[in-house]
């Protein structure tokens, strides 16, 4: 299908306007400029070819290669007919129009082939005219033939240079246009990726906030609930101990309320509140011991400085592991081991009832521990089975600058 070209946004639209200027010059030269050369002219053929050639400029072939070849072949036929048979003046202008027009529809390699072929045809056409005396005015036929020969060679050279620089101009403009298109496409993709990253970051931040609420508030409420349950059981037999447990539960509740308020105002980036990792871990173990009456076997050897983010992760993982033991394990023995070498290693083991990993893979606490470990490039492992206890092992690499 042949369609009207869309020149308004085309990078070579100035060449489109140049085409019409050159065609207008050709029309005017046929109308008003008399000839002084010895070759027959047929104005009717020339005007018919020029008119058809101009109309073809308004109709461009579709993307099908066969139609492009037919289109270009028809252009060649009209130019050769008007230049050789019709005696068209300054016919090289039509070849320039053909070269510039085909820049709209051909690839670079095809344009170069067409341009080289055009130069050869113009050279042969001019040579044909020169050898048949068509380029020599009658008064110059005897005395200045050599000057006309030099003029012929000069015109061929100038035409070749014109095609060369025209091709360079077309390639430069099209290359810039392609670069802009690629840059715009890259910009659109970058913007799309930025939106995706923003969505991922938003989701990660939501998960982080959920983990913080689960780890801090969930732990406090678990301890609170255990204190209240223990106080209710002791209330008939030991009111003093029950009262002490209720006082501790009140303190835990106050702490939980404080954490909720801090979370609403600003998610705390330092749940350790300036404490060292050893002190923070000791505090968690002490709370666990009060709530369960289990004295964990502890082997804590923190001999290296630990980055803040690793401290927080280790603290939260231990807190969540002990909370799960309080809630579900029904354990009587718990062991905790922490050591720092080239990495921080944390192990929490209990002799509780365990569970099946295949049936319990969606717990948010376990998921949170895995996410915290993975975010720091560490490894998380859990070994458990029904009635065989549970062992949680975490390894988080420490930066070389830290160790």
User: Domain segments of the chain: what residues?
Assistant: 13-190, 296-403
pLDDT of the residue at 261: 67
pLDDT of the residue at 222: 77
Mean pLDDT in each 10-residue stretch from start to end of the chain (403 residues)?
48 71 81 61 81 81 77 85 77 82 78 84 75 56 60 79 83 80 82 66 66 67 78 79 79 74 56 79 87 88 87 88 86 93 93 83 72 88 91 90 50
Q: What is the 3-state secondary structure (H, E, C) of 29-93?
A: HHHHCCCCCCCCCCHHHHHHHHHHHHHHCCCECCCCHHHHHHHHHHHHHHHHHHHHHCCCCCCHH
Closest CA to 87 of 128, 141, 145: 128
pLDDT of the residue at 131: 67
Dihedral angle computed from the Cα positions of residues 36, 37, 43 and 48, in that order, rounded to the nearest 10 degrees: -130
Residues 6+ apart with CB under 8 A from 56: 71, 74, 75, 78
pLDDT of the residue at 52: 86
pLDDT of the residue at 403: 46
pLDDT of the residue at 335: 94
pLDDT of the residue at 253: 76
In this structure, which topology does domain 296-403 adopt according to CATH?
Heat Shock Protein 90 (3.30.565)
Whether pTM exceeds 0.85 = no
Tokens of 16: 């489109």
Q: d(Cα 253, Cα 224) in Å, to the nearest integer? A: 6
pLDDT of the residue at 11: 55
pLDDT of the residue at 270: 59
pLDDT of the residue at 10: 54
Terminus-to-terminus CA distance in the chain, angstroms? 72
> 297: helix, coil or strand?
strand
């Amino acid at each position: 299908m042949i369609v009207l070209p869309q020149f308004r946004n085309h990078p070579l639209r100035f060449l489109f306007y140049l085409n019409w200027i050159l065609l207008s010059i050709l029309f005017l030269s046929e109308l008003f400029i008399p000839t002084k050369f010895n070759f027959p002219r047929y104005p009717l053929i020339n005007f018919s070819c020029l008119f058809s050639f101009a109309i073809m400029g308004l109709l461009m072939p579709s993307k099908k290669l066969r139609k492009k070849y037919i289109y270009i072949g028809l252009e060649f036929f009209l130019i050769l007919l008007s230049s050789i048979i019709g005696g068209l003046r300054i016919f090289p202008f039509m070849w320039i129009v053909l070269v510039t027009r085909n820049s709209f529809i051909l690839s670079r390699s095809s344009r170069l082939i067409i341009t080289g072929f055009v130069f050869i045809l113009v050279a042969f056409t001019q040579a044909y005219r020169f050898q048949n005396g068509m380029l020599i005015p009658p008064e110059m036929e005897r005395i200045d033939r050599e000057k006309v020969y030099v003029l012929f060679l000069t015109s061929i050279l100038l035409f070749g240079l014109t095609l060369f620089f025209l091709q360079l101009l077309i390639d430069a403009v099209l290359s810039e246009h392609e670069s802009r298109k690629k840059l715009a496409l890259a910009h659109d993709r970058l913007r799309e990726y930025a939106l995706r990253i923003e969505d991922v970051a938003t989701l990660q931040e939501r998960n982080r906030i959920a983990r913080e609420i689960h780890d801090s508030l969930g732990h406090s409420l678990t301890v609170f609930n255990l204190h209240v349950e223990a106080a209710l059981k002791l209330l008939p037999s030991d009111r003093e101990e029950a009262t002490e447990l209720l006082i501790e539960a009140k303190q835990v509740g106050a702490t939980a309320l404080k954490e909720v308020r801090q979370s609403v105002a600003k998610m705390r980036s330092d749940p350790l509140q300036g404490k060292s990792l050893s002190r923070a871990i000791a505090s968690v173990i002490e709370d666990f011991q009060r709530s369960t009456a289990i004295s964990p076997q502890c082997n804590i050897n923190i001999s290296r400085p630990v980055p803040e983010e690793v401290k927080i992760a280790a603290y939260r993982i231990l807190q969540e592991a002990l909370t799960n033991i309080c809630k579900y394990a029904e354990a009587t023995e718990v062991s905790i081991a922490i050591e720092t070498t080239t990495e921080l290693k944390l192990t929490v083991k209990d002799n509780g009832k365990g569970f099946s990993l295949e049936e319990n893979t969606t717990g948010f606490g376990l998921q949170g521990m895995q996410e915290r470990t993975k975010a720091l490039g560490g490894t998380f492992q859990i070994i458990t089975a029904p009635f065989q206890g549970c062992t949680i092992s975490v390894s988080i690499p420490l930066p070389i600058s830290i160790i």
